[in-house]
Amino acid sequence: MASVQPSAAALAPQRPSTAATLPSPSISPRVFPFPRTRARRLEVAARAMPWPHVLTVAGSDSGAGAGIQADIKACAALGAYCSSVITAVTAQNTVGVQGVHAVPEDFVGEQIRSVLSDMSVDVVKTGMLPSAGIVKVLCGSLRKFPVKALVVDPVMVSTSGDTLSGPSTLTIYRDELFPMADIVTPNVKEASKLLGDVSLQTISDMRDAAECIHKLGPKHVLVKGGDMPNSSEAIDVFFDGKEFIELRGLRIKTRNTHGTGCTLASCVAAELAKGATMLHAVQVAKKFVESALYHSKDLVIGNGPQGPFDHLFSLKSPLYKMGSLHKFNPNDLFLYAVTDPGMNKKWGRSIKDAVKAAIEGGATIVQLREKDTGTREFLEAAKACVDICRSSGVPLLINDRIDVALACNADGVHVGQTDMPAWEVRELLGPGKIIGVSCKTPAQAEQAWKDGADYIGCGGVFPTTTKANNPTLGFEGLRTVCSASKLPVVAIGGINAGNAGSVMELGLPNLKGVAVVSALFDRECVTTETRSLRSILMNACSKS
């Protein structure tokens, strides 16, 4: 721990914050500029840091696609420790479930007490609970050993259609377990059973189901729509008792869907154990499942209709960037540097040198906007910039050119209103990449959110010479879009050292930073200008 310096992105402040003196970012972030004694203190603190801990109470899947096997793999992939209590042993494979042997209730209780009495569990996640007695044992144990959160995945039917929990467990689920739950995550089939076999065919039906299940006691409900008929998207409905949020994702065409429900609930539990809010935990979990399905869609294990997917795909896929999976950090937008070929030419800089200088000054994200550069030259420069940005932990996006982004394995793309829509960009790039969209109106911001973008760029805030015929929104237009946006916002257009502070001092909801072009790259020393602008932004954030 003591040998790694925080990246520039990690140093971006979260508003509100107090003014702080931070070390300047460096292209070579491998050595702490601290005395040996401080490095030692950091090392000791790291060792004392608690490990996020999830306890899964679920059945064992002999095929290892679902159940506790999926739970453990999912938690490990997201950096959480996962202990386990086995409620049943199943004989199952990719064809189906051949047998279920429930573990005696007393021994389930003994397992639970053994872990909870000793191991500082943060979150308990439930899966297959084959009997009402086991549910009662679990509820009693949680009253004696309370945890930070309880995630309930009401597993009743396997992916192949085999019954895993009898109808006698429904009443005890509703009466005792749900009122203790922080979130319940049924798919549409399970939601239907919980509500007396009601028909769920539309998004409106899913909303109604989420509201009805919420009345049974859980703080949050996620009704998963992966099995919804006639849907081109994988749409889940999240309900917190006040607001419905539709979470849209790609529908991956693959047979390898066994264990998706177990995995999603375990990812939610892992993120909660790490301190995430419930909505963020759900978003990360959905992105993880989508990414895992995408990266292992052609995997072949077994001869049945439902194969498993690879939870540890990130270890094997060179095109997969783990940092992008966790729903990119909105604070990366804090100081957003956008390159310009004309300015680079004017000052005799290469794209690579311009990007390197901006990062040295403290840029937290970089966009290559090279409209006049030939494809071959642009691609070679983009590959070099990817290497620079990766070594510094700074995301690199490509403006418009999805082909270049794919070829150089950039972290994502930024598109405008006349370019390819974000949902089509997502289909080409796949999950795990950052997508930004330029927006000038609340309607455009809403569409960007529906299309699956990660952030929006709003402007021009001020008049600018870098984009022809670009209407100026001013503070009022920026305020209107920020107030309506469900996505993080970066302000752009005519922003410089003289007005950047006033933009951030507005304290607008979702406004995470400013994007600049001329103020950085049409200057003699990019590093100096970037460092100065970063200081201005930090001071402004400390006041707002």
Task: Please tell me which residue in 56, 94, 159, 257 is annotated as part of the active site.
Answer: 257
Closest CA to 334 of 544, 500, 170, 113: 500
The number of C-alpha atoms within 13 Å of 384 and in the hemisphere containing its C-beta is 13
From 75, 262, 458, 541, active-site residue: 262
The sign of the torsion formed by the CA atoms of 101, 308, 72, 150 equals negative
Sign of CA dihedral 425, 431, 436, 439: positive
Task: Kindly calculate the radius of gyration of the chain based on its CA atoms and give it in whole angstroms.
Answer: 25
Q: Is 261 marked active-site? A: yes
Which two tokens mark 313?
A: 């795909």
DSSP β-ladder status, 97-102 and 123-128: unpaired
Q: How many CB atoms are closer than 10 A to CB 66?
A: 29
For 1-17, the DSSP string reads -TT-PPPHHHHSPPSS-
CB of 389 closer than 8 Å to CB of 359: yes
Q: In which residue are the tokens 């602008």 written? A: 533
Identity (one letter) of the amino acid at 158?
Answer: S
Tell me if 60 sits within 8 A of 81, measured CB to CB. no
Residue 230 to residue 247: CA distance in whole angstroms: 17
133, 249, 261, 493: which one is catalytic?
261
The answer to whether 373 touches 341, Cβ cutoff 8 Å, is yes
Sort strands 244-250 and 233-239 into parallel, antiparallel or unpaired: antiparallel
* Other residues' Cβ atoms within 10 Å of the Cβ of residue 28: 8
CA distance 95 to 302: 8
Q: Decide if 262 is catalytic.
A: yes
Residue 139 is a catalytic residue: no
257 catalytic, yes or no? yes
Residue 258 belongs to what H/E stretch?
A: none
Q: Which of 225, 259, 412, 493 is catalytic?
A: 259
Which of 193, 224, 274, 321 is the catalytic position? 224
87, 94, 260, 466: which one is catalytic?
260
Instruction: Give me the phi and psi of 252, to 5 degrees please.
Output: -80, 125
Residue 217: count of CB within 10 angstroms of its CB: 15
- Catalytic residue numbers read 224, 257, 259-262
